[in-house]
Amino acid sequence: MADASLLALPVELIHRILNNLDACSIIFSVRKVCKRFYEIVNLYDQYELNFDSMSESCLKIISRFIQPEKITSLVLRNMWYESEKIKIFLSFFDTSQLIRIQSITLGLSNQASDSQLLQHLNISNLVSLNIHSTSNRPGKELNFISKVMVQSHFRKLCLAESHYNIMRIPWPDRCTITFLTIKSCSLEEYNFLLQHLAYLRTFITTKFITDTSNQLNSLPSVSAYYSQLMSLMILNSSLSITEFESILSLTPSLVKLKLISYRSNFDSITNGSDWEYLIRNTLSSLRTFEFFFSYTLRKGTDTEDLTLMIDRFRTSFWLQEKKWIITCDYFLTRNIINLYTTPTCPKDFEKKMEPIKWMYGSLPCIIRFKSLPIDDKFNSNIHLVRGADDAIQSQTIRRVRLGYNALGEEGAQFIGEVLRNNTTLTSISLRFNQIGANGAYCLISGLKENSTIRNIDLENNGIGEDSAICIADVIESIKTLTGLNLGKNQIGIRGAKYLSNALQQNMIINHVYLEDNQICDEGVGFLAEALKNHTTLVSLHLGSNKIGITGTQYLSNVLRNNTKIRRIYLENNEIADEGVQFLSEALANNE
């Protein structure tokens, strides 16, 4: 490009950029950049005034630069706190000239200032209205909404933050709304809206409520359906597959469907075969299906149920015809299953997982797998045991991170058994799982024949001295291992001796973490002997190991001859001034 400067862009494109900026930034920043931007800003006529982010002084200044007819959007979510700004706005702007307002967002609270503003708003060209209401007497608000809905340009109404009774809103006979969002909806209200909104194309409800005592008995007949709706989103519910079927049967012309459901037990809502049948017979035009289903796995649930559940999403209908990929997360410590389409994830999902993040430091997800075909016939060869098998047996898995999952000895034994046949794993982390000596032995035995593993992290697992010998054996046999973390495992002096013998045979390993293991001076002596001629180790962590002056002497002798080691960590030991002196002299001779 001859000239890629922002100044060289067409005015129309710069106006598109300005559409994403607030009024203050445009007037106080962009307008002052240069003469060309000054002229472009003077031509701009798509301002949004957001009272929530604008000070009173800023509003006063802006009123001198922006003509009312250049304002197309108003945002006043906190009208209770913004009464002074509203007065300023009404005094500085001629509201009769606000003839191009297309979008309004209001936060109403049944205050006098609400009525004052509603009376002055020009809604003749309004396209979109978003109301956040906490009012317990919404009479004037509903009258305003009714007045808006009869405007010829009006299309979008958002009431997701308002507790209005849908049946009491005075819907006009010829309502032209095409987009509607509400906070909650019952089956009766949903049917009512479809009857009265002939042009409705998109409907979103934050919560769908069903009353099984009478609503299922008052369902519309099979012949009652509404062809106008193209997109439906139910963002929070506990609906069953039967209830979903009743709802969806009303709108067979749906092209897009998004469902979020939280269930307390494992049921047919996760049955891919049932959804396939429903979509084929009821929603034949559906092109986009996004869902997030979460439920708690009951104690004693046969793990084959999980295998069957995933297999039902591995059919040609899901993978070839629709190309909808399903992902399943199994949170072992909470026994929670999340099943969702990729990459869909509800906005409140991260919020709901915050307590788990806080408790464990990271999401304790033991498995994440997708409904990809296992072979050309879509046959599954996966056998789930609490979710771990699928993750580890996969021929594409490279890293397994199962820290903070309370796996214990049994979990480690199982994983070790599965690892015997894995040929792709490069990294495994089971830190803080208390797998113990036997668990460590079984796990390491499974890794012994592995020719791809590079990093093993077993920090804080209560391994002890006895299991250190089998770990040392693996270090000798695995020629690809470059990183080992055995911190906080109380391997002691004897464990340090086993590891030192192994390190003399392994000239690949780069990083060894042995902090808080009660290695003491004698254990450091064994390690020092192994490191004298080691050619690849670059970092050694020995913090909190009761290392004194003698141990420091051993390490100093290593540093005099070994120039490959770059970092030795000795925090929280007992090296004293004399030990520091030994290290200083050794480092002076290390080149």
Could you please state the CATH topology (level 3) that the domain comprising 399-588 is classified under. Answer: 3.80.10
For residue 114, what pLDDT is reported? 59
The span from the CA of 263 to the CA of 113, in Å, is 43
CA atoms within 13 A on the CB side of 451: 1
- Say yes or no to pLDDT of 458 above 60: yes
Residue 215 corresponds to which tokens in the numbers above? Answer: 């609503």
pLDDT tens per residue across span 293-324: 888 776 555 444 666 777 788 888 988 898 88
pLDDT tens per residue across span 328-363: 777 665 677 888 887 644 444 445 445 444 433 443
Which has the minimum average pLDDT: 4-18, 410-424, 565-579?
410-424
Alpha-carbon distances, residue 114 vs 105, 124, 374, 440 (angstroms): 12, 19, 60, 68
Of 83, 80, 20, 75, nearest to 56 (Cα)?
83
E strand or H helix that includes residue 339: strand 336-341
- Quick check: helix, strand or coil at residue 402? coil
Confidence of residue 401 (pLDDT cuts 50, 70, 90): confident
CA atoms within 13 A on the CB side of 181: 14
pLDDT tens per residue across span 88-139: 777 777 777 888 999 999 887 655 555 667 777 888 899 999 988 877 677 7
Q: What is the DSSP string of 309-323?
A: HHHTTSSHIIIIIS-
Confidence of residue 201 (pLDDT cuts 50, 70, 90): very high
The 3 state secondary structure assigned to 70-106 is HEEEEEECCCCCCHHHHHHHHHHCCHHHCCCCCEEEE
Q: What is the largest CA-CA distance in the chain?
A: 93
For residue 112, what pLDDT is reported? 56
Give yes or no for a contact between 437 and 466, defined as CB atoms under 8 angstroms apart. yes
- Say yes or no to pLDDT of 488 above 60: yes
Confidence of residue 229 (pLDDT cuts 50, 70, 90): very high
Buried b (16+ CB within 10 A) or exposed e, 22-49: bbbebbeebbeeeeebeebbeebeebbb
For residue 467, what pLDDT is reported? 79
Type of residue at 85: K
Average pLDDT across the chain, whole number: 81
Which has the minimum average pLDDT: 58-62, 158-162, 294-298?
294-298
List all residues 6 or more positions away from 105 whose beta carbon is below 8 Å from its beta carbon. 73, 74, 75, 76, 77, 129, 130, 131, 132
Residue 33 corresponds to which tokens in the numbers above? Answer: 């950049």
For residue 4, what pLDDT is reported? 62
Which has the minimum average pLDDT: 128-132, 148-152, 214-218, 581-585?
214-218
Give yes or no for a contact between 315 and 272, defined as CB atoms under 8 angstroms apart. yes
For residue 390, what pLDDT is reported? 42
Task: Return the percentage of the chain with pLDDT > 70, whole number.
Answer: 81
pLDDT tens per residue across span 6-37: 888 899 999 999 999 989 899 999 999 999 99
Residue 389 corresponds to which tokens in the numbers above? Answer: 């098998």
How many CB atoms within 10 Å of residue 216?
Answer: 13
In this structure, the strands spanning 256-263 and 103-108 are: unpaired
Residue 483 corresponds to which tokens in the numbers above? Answer: 């990183």
For residue 589, what pLDDT is reported? 73
The span from the CA of 169 to the CA of 242, in Å, is 29
Higher pLDDT, 118 or 200: 200
